[in-house]
Amino acid sequence: MKKTKTFEGKRHVYNTEASTEIGTRAFGNYGDPSGYEETLYKNRQGLFFVYGRGGENSPYGAGEDIRPLTDEEAQAWQA
């Protein structure tokens, strides 16, 4: 998935295929409408982002999305 998003006042391109996967975590069970899965990535510019997909009642709303993270948020995500 590739998306351009504005983060901290600048436009950045986030691409899951061209980035390094750091880790994955899941919440809920398969088929759970509020369940979702997140994967943390780091791109070539050193920026972190989360690719998430989930059920209709999840934070990703029955689809998929990319959410940029600060370095501190990425460290907390990995903990």
**Over the range 27-66, which residues count as b (16 or more CB within 10 Å of their CB) and which as e?**
eeeeeeeeebbbbbbbbeeebbbbbbbbbeebebeeeeeb
pLDDT level of residue 46 (50, 70, 90 thresholds): very high
Share of the chain above pLDDT 90, in %: 85
pLDDT, mean over the chain: 93
State the residue range of the domain holding 7: 2-78
pLDDT level of residue 61 (50, 70, 90 thresholds): confident
In total, how many domains does the chain have? 1
What's the pLDDT at 79? 78
The answer, as to whether pTM is greater than 0.95, is no
Q: Give the integer Cα–Cα distance in Å for 45 and 17.
A: 14
Q: Give the integer Cα–Cα distance in Å for 65 and 10.
A: 18
**Residue 49: is its pLDDT beyond 90?**
yes
